[in-house]
């Protein structure tokens, strides 16, 4: 069956769909030996020879879906012009070429979803700002229950206390909290906590929709099973009920 070239390239794990469009427009894609620059061009990988950035698009590319527990100070992408460590450094031994969906900043740690399924990646990115995410944040000082309620309402997030890693040693000065939030509210959270004189010192994503980082050591990854993929494929957007549950 014929499909658009950028879709076939993304599905093969050679590039994201957006990057695939750039490859086509810049003359780096060949169809049956001829350079193609039209984004609407279609082909059938079972009949046609498709080459993108020097790689042949296979009709039977295995689709993989995985979760990575990103360490802090690792770029949340597969390459970095500045030469810093990237997600690729944590994926040694994985033969497929995958790409992260969404973003997790350099200093943050925690859950990253990666795949070579271009269709799913495009769907997720379209709704990314409204996907429910769960973070553990360490702030300067301590927040009271009243603070959590008022700040959560102002931010548009659900905030609660979690067990403090240093509590048993009696030396916790800056405290950890759990926040359920959407990506669209992240910058609002930073500004609000800074204004309240409780700036975020550390950030760790522990949940993304139905997926959690539990059981994945830092710097390691695991493949998702078919049920987890389907659950993630039908992920729900964050709702007002979540943001008002304080």
Four-residue CA torsion sign, 128, 133, 139, 145: positive
Cα–Cα distance for residue pair 140/200, rounded to 1 Å: 7
- Give me the percent of the chain exceeding a pLDDT of 90: 60
Question: Interior CA angle at 88 toward 82 and 89, to 5°?
Answer: 85
| Co-location of 110 and 76 in the same domain | yes
| Co-location of 163 and 203 in the same domain | yes
CB 110 within 8 A of CB 67: no
Q: What is the CATH number of the domain that holds 168?
A: 3.30.70.1560
For residue 160 the two structure tokens come to 């609660």
pTM value is: 0.73
Q: Does the structure show a pLDDT above 60 at 246? A: no
Q: Does the structure show a pLDDT above 70 at 234? A: yes
Q: Does the structure show a pLDDT above 50 at 243? A: no
Question: CB within 8 A of 29, min separation 6: which ones?
Answer: 5, 9, 20, 23, 35, 36, 37, 50, 51, 52, 53
Cα–Cα distance for residue pair 81/148, rounded to 1 Å: 39
| Co-location of 113 and 144 in the same domain | no
pLDDT score for 201: 95
Q: Last residue of some domain: 74, 104, 126?
A: 126
| Co-location of 135 and 121 in the same domain | no
| Co-location of 163 and 178 in the same domain | yes
Which of 186, 245, 180, 240 shows the shortest CA–CA distance to 209? 180
Residue 133 falls inside a structural domain = yes
Mean pLDDT along residues 205-231? 93
Q: Does the structure show a pLDDT above 80 at 153? A: yes
Residue 217 falls inside a structural domain = no
pLDDT score for 239: 53
pLDDT score for 164: 82
| Co-location of 142 and 202 in the same domain | yes
The SS3 assignment for 46 reads: coil
Q: What average pLDDT is seen over the chain?
A: 88
For residue 188 the two structure tokens come to 């609002």
Choice between 106 and 126, residue whose per-residue pLDDT is larger: 106
Q: Last residue of some domain: 29, 56, 83?
A: 56
Question: Beta-carbon neighbour count of residue 132 at 10 Å?
Answer: 20
pLDDT score for 235: 76
| Co-location of 107 and 118 in the same domain | yes
Residue 33 falls inside a structural domain = yes
pLDDT score for 169: 52
Residue 230 falls inside a structural domain = no
CB 132 within 8 A of CB 180: yes
Residue 152 falls inside a structural domain = yes
The dihedral formed by the CA atoms of 138, 139, 142 and 145, expressed in degrees to the nearest 10: -80
Q: What is the CATH number of the domain that holds 104?
A: 3.30.70.580
Q: Which uninterrupted H or E stretch holds 52?
A: strand 50-52
Q: Does the structure show a pLDDT above 60 at 51? A: yes
Burial 198-236 (b: 16+ CB within 10 A, else e): bebeebbbbbbbebebeebeeeebeebeeeebeebeebe
pLDDT score for 172: 63
* Residue-number span of the structural domain to which 31 is assigned: 3-56
Q: Count of domains in the chain?
A: 3
CB 64 within 8 A of CB 51: no
Question: Beta-carbon neighbour count of residue 25 at 10 Å?
Answer: 14
Mean pLDDT along residues 56-71? 85
Q: Return the minimum-mean-pLDDT range out of 73-82, 95-104, 106-115.
A: 95-104
Q: What is the CATH number of the domain that holds 35?
A: 3.10.290.10
Question: Beta-carbon neighbour count of residue 6 at 10 Å?
Answer: 26
| Co-location of 157 and 115 in the same domain | no
Residue 27 falls inside a structural domain = yes
Q: Last residue of some domain: 88, 103, 126?
A: 126
Choice between 179 and 171, residue whose per-residue pLDDT is larger: 179
Question: CB within 8 A of 165, min separation 6: which ones?
Answer: 172, 176
Residue 228 falls inside a structural domain = no
Output the DSSP codes for 141-209.
Answer: S---HHHHHHHHHHHTSEEEE---TTGGGT---S-EEEEEEEGGGHHHHHHHHHHTT--EEEEEEEEET
């Amino acid at each position: 069956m014929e499909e658009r070239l950028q879709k076939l390239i993304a599905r093969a794990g050679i590039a994201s769909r957006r990057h695939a469009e750039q490859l086509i427009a810049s003359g780096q894609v060949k169809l049956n030996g001829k350079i193609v620059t039209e984004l609407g061009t279609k082909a059938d990988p079972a009949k046609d020879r498709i080459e993108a950035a020097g790689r042949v698009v296979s009709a039977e590319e295995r689709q993989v879906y995985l979760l990575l527990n990103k360490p802090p100070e690792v770029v949340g992408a597969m390459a970095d012009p500045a030469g810093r460590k990237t997600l690729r450094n944590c994926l040694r031994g994985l033969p497929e070429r995958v790409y992260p969906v969404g973003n997790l900043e350099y200093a943050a740690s925690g859950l990253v979803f990666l795949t070579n399924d271009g269709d799913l990646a495009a769907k997720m990115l379209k709704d990314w700002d409204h996907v429910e995410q769960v973070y553990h944040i360490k702030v300067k000082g301590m927040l009271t229950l009243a603070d959590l309620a008022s700040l959560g309402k102002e931010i548009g997030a659900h905030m609660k206390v979690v067990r403090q890693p240093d509590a048993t040693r009696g030396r916790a000065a800056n405290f950890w909290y759990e926040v359920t939030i959407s990506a669209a509210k992240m910058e609002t959270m930073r500004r609000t906590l800074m204004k309240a004189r409780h700036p975020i010192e550390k950030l760790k994503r522990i949940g993304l929709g139905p997926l959690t980082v539990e059981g994945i050591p830092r710097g390691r990854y695991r493949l998702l099973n078919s049920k987890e993929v389907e659950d993630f494929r039908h992920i729900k957007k964050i709702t007002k009920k979540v943001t008002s549950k304080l």
